[in-house]
A = this chain, B = another copy of it.
Amino acid sequence: MAHQQAHDEKLDALLAAAARVFAKRGYHETSMRDLARESGVSLSGLYYYVKSKDELLFLIQDRSFAAVLASMEEAIAGIENPVERLARFIDNHLDYFASHMAEMKVLSHESGALSGDFLSQVNAKKREYTRVLMDILADVERTCGAAHVNRRIATYTLFGMMNWIYNWYDPLGDLSVEVLSQSICRLFLGGYVGMPVSESVMPHLTAG
């Protein structure tokens, strides 16, 4: 049926427009009237495609996360070397982030705006995504030797490095995603399993 396809395409356009506005103004500061104006549909027309404002946010977050998950699984599929798996995980994350800045900012910054079943569904994807990274880190440790920091700290810290970029990174600026991806990879791996900083220059760190 061509009807269904046209319907889906319009819904996709709606979600994309909504993600743009949510990313700029924030979810709660954005009214349904704002979204209607921005997407060229009437206020009540929005409700033909979406049950509520909550569901709108959920659809943006759930679809984005599903896309990141699928893209990540394809990126690391068949790769054996744990360090390369990690590099691809990071690269995929940043690459998707940079090319879907609005959706990913909404996903990162508006994670607390959902509740109930919507929240559970998104959190399930988040937990799976996190688990994959932690498993990779465990493999990296087996290959490169004992890590220098607790794996849980390393995991969340790495997510911090990557997800914080919505606060400063401009995909259209003169800093390419490749450079950014390599930099974060280097930064993280050097600290996680690389040679430790010598004690002579950093006495404070070995005291505890």
Contacts and interface: CB of A to CB of B under 8 A. Distances in A.
A113 B182 CA distance: 32
B186 A196 contact: yes
Interface in A159-208: 159-165, 167-169, 175, 178-180, 182-197, 201-205, 208
A42 B154 CA distance: 45
A7 interface: no
13 contacts: A83-B201, A84-B204, A144-B197, A154-B183, A159-B164, A160-B162, A182-B205, A186-B205, A189-B205, A190-B191, A190-B192, A190-B194, A190-B197
A125 interface: no
A91 B109 CA distance: 25
B208 A178 contact: yes
A157 interface: yes
A179 B197 contact: no
**Chain A: interface secondary structure?**
helix
A47 interface: no
A87 interface: yes
Nearest to A86: B202
Nearest to A148: B186
A204 to B, nearest CB: 5
A171 to B, nearest CB: 14
Contacts of A189: 191, 197, 202, 205
Q: Of residues A81, A91, A111, A204, which shows the largest number of chain B Cβ atoms within 10 Å of its Cβ?
A: A204
Given A87-B202, A186-B191, A195-B195, A161 B168 contact: no
A194 B144 CA distance: 16
Contacts of A196: 186, 190, 194
A70 interface: no
A78 interface: no
Interface string A13-40: 0000000000000101100000000000
